[in-house]
Structure 1
């Protein structure tokens, strides 16, 4: 029970943080939904595009998360802070890149997704604003990962809750012109998201600077020079590339999946996006327990306690599974009422309800994927995770989705069956790797220094 309490104290704030992002996304989609199915479709397609943009650079944060956890466990936080500053440098470059892509490539990206002309015209500005906000998303996630690495999941939770609260307020205000604000429609929803991301970034930067001074007694100038350390920079770059490519391979496969569904029509796409929004109630807690596994496994490995590290990884997965089981039961039996929250169009909410019921319990396998991936990240087993992701996303998920949707003509149902076949195989693969891995032979991740 002692370990369960320890796990929950770390996981609950992360669940609140990730869930707040999910609920915020749901509320925003519900608000925007009053603008019609076209607005829902634009937001849905944009969400997938932006998840791909975020995933491409998410490896920076994931790398900080597990390396800092190991450094914290081994009582070498000077190294952990140096690595965090190097990662922030990479994050800044990545954010600038996303701004340029948004400014010059928004229209082309929407057309590449197969969006009809009307969707492209109405969606360009919204997509551009979302790309601009990505700069803050990347840097904020990197700092969240630092705090989680040292076992502080509450600070990211507070920043996330406040940022998402600001986002909801301005979505309501700017989309429909409430509280004396101008009525900007979909553009207003984009600006609201930008303001929320900016607020969260400012809060987490302030907390980070205070933590440097108060807890570690280190000033920024003392570690800023570490950004020129070639060996450490190379380590951060390689690990970030592997974990970013892992996430990107999955998200890009989801982008192709969405492109397939887009070709089934606006109602099918709207149903797909609403169902994904609802199912993200399960995805985000799975991410939270996965992050908790990374923290605990990484810290115990840093303390040179591999047996305890593996035990905590298993117990984290057990608690996460119980959580998803309860959530899936609620989603299964209340699928249609949940779908009606988003839209009153019968063709949309009936299809959405069916998709929710298909995935309600199958999301347990997505949980296995996240729980045990998190544990494997904690020991730095990133190469295996990357290989498994690439093989299964592009060797199983994408071909199977095409087969189900276009060859066998199963429509949206076929697409979701393919999605969960993929997640089931992926989850079992990662879980098997975890149990077969000998943790006693794992060492802390170190940069390879060139001989003087």
Structure 2
């Protein structure tokens, strides 16, 4: 078991640092722009939810690259892994263009559908448009990172994240407030900083894939450029299932945010601050979930799925320990943490209350990510799609409406609905993981 734990930590900790660096960057950016007022916090919060949905719909490509490359790496067949990565990149380029067009022509309408105030729409439209452009690069970057994690190169993925996130913070500070001779662009400056950072990351990822990794994996070979329709069909199907799964979660979260927006800008700002703080718990969940995908997928490729089941369990145990420790810190220091975001007393007190409610409940979000990562490793994507749809639309959204508008429990009711949903979802995925017949698990192949 200790050997498994060491292997897990060597993969998970770089992933944790990588995901955490993104969270820290978003947190620092929110603290910086938060000095512009509660309305700006609300705009950023709504934009984050919208971007999560845009990302979620196309994130299935990156998740698919991650688990298929992990299986190919385990099977020592990286020729197929590279070929699949190329196909995924073709898809990413098409969708990146689509995302940019949506941001260009529809940013104001999307904010209007959220239900925010007229002032929020007027102030936030161009910022949201910039975020859409940044997301065009983001889905390409996510697929590159999926490849790196699939081959177990989580340290390299971490280094890229660290290199990129520092300029984003510096540019946000510089362009938002006009330091060092640069113009004072306010919220627009914050949006430009994210766009420049994502574009820079795409260039770095391309250099690593096509130059640094070419010697070992022949990433520029003619075979890699070859196109097979059966592989295209497999990647499209798997990406579609995983993308719709994430989008189902994302759109339900979007509706949840729209419900909270009707409680007022202060409640919406507090909701965003609380989500930002709790995202530090999401990061260990994502990191260990990604690690489960890598290790389970590689064991499937090696033909040892039962060892994959064991390592999936060990990953969940280690990840849960991280979340319990983090939840304790969040519970004790909730007020001090939220006061860093804004000097609006109503906002930071409400945000601290929401954090204390959910500090230890986030363990269920962890179970969801740990075991969903394991199920992705074996390619059980159909179940993840089905259960995501059911719990999002038959539990989360109805409970949020009931608790907010019928019982009038306000922000507390919204977060009780959120964690009721995560509890059911996490338990369902965990049960599926252990009820799977692991002796029949096989490498995912395209149909001929």
TM bracket (short chain): over 0.9
List aligned pairs for 1:372-383, cutoff 5 A. Answer: 372-383=371-382
Is contact 2:82-2:219 (8 Å) kept?
A: no
Structure 1 vs Structure 2 CA RMSD: 0.8
SS at match of 2:339: helix
Q: Distance in 1 between matches of 2:332 and 2:59?
A: 35
Tell me which residue corresponds to 1:254. Answer: 253
The answer to whether residue 23 in structure 2 is matched with residue 22 in structure 1 is yes
How much has 1:217 moved relative to structure 2? 3.3
Which segment is superposed worse, 437-446 or 259-268? 437-446
1:398 corresponds to which residue? Answer: 397
Tell me the equivalent position of 1:342.
341
CA contact (8 A) 2:306 2:439 kept: yes
* In structure 2, C-alpha distance between the alignment counterparts of 1:28 and 1:221, rounded to whole Å: 43
1:159 deviates by 1.0
Quote the residue 1:93 is aligned against.
Answer: 94
Matches within 5 A, 1:2-401: 2-226=3-227, 229-401=228-400
SS at match of 1:362: coil
Q: CA deviation at 1:210?
A: 2.4
* Aligned mates of 1:231, 1:3 — CA distance in 2: 35
**Alpha-carbon separation, structure 1, partners of 2:343 and 2:111:** 27
Q: Which runs of 4+ in 1 moved over 4 A?
A: none
Query: What is the match of residue 413 of structure 2?
Result: 414
Instruction: Give the Cα separation in 2 of the matches to 1:438 and 1:211.
Output: 39
Give structure 1 stretches of 5+ with no counterpart: none
SS at match of 1:413: helix
- The structural deviation recorded for 1:250 is 0.4
Matched-pair contact (CA < 8 Å) for 1:405–1:414: yes
- Measured against aligned partners, the alpha-carbon deviations of 1:209-242 in whole angstroms (never above 9, x if no partner) come to 124422123424331122xx11000000000000
* Structure 1 stretch displaced more, 231-240 or 207-216: 207-216
TM-score normalized by the length of structure 2: 0.99
Distance 1:168 1:11 in 2: 24
The separation in 2 between residues aligned to 1:204 and 1:156, in whole angstroms, is 9
Q: Is the contact between residue 257 and residue 401 of structure 1 (CA under 8 Å) also seen in structure 2? A: yes
Residues of 2 paired with 1:262 and 1:284: CA distance? 25
Deviation string for 1:301-339 (max 9, x for gaps)?
A: 100011110000000000000000000000001010011
For residue 391 of structure 2, give the secondary structure of its aligned residue in structure 1: helix
2:402 and 2:44 mapped to 1: Cα distance?
27
CA contact (8 A) 1:155 1:204 kept: no
Q: TM-score, normalised by structure 1?
A: 0.98
3-state DSSP class of the match of 2:217? Answer: coil
Equivalents in 1 of 2:48, 2:213: separation in Å? 34
Distance of 2:180 and 2:9 partners within structure 1: 39
Name the CA distance, whole Å, in 2 between partners of 1:422 and 1:216: 42
1:427 aligns with 2:426: yes
Instruction: For residues 173-220 of structure 1, give each alpha carbon's deviation from its aligned partner in whole angstroms, at most 9, with x where no partner exists.
Output: 000001211110000000000111111111111111124422123424
Conserved? CA contact 2:403–2:413, under 8 Å: yes
1: distance between equivalents of 2:182 and 2:344?
29
Unaligned runs of 5+ in 2: none
| SS of corresponding position for 1:378 | helix
Secondary structure of 2:158's aligned partner? helix
Q: Structure 1 stretch 207-216 or stretch 336-345: which is displaced more?
A: 207-216
CA contact (8 A) 1:212 1:219 kept: no
Output the CA distance in 2 between the equivalents of 1:18 and 1:144. 11
User: How far, CA to CA, are the matches of 2:212 and 2:74 in structure 1?
Assistant: 17
Secondary structure at 1:215 match in 2 = helix
Mapped to 1, the partners of 2:446 and 2:268 lie a distance apart of 46
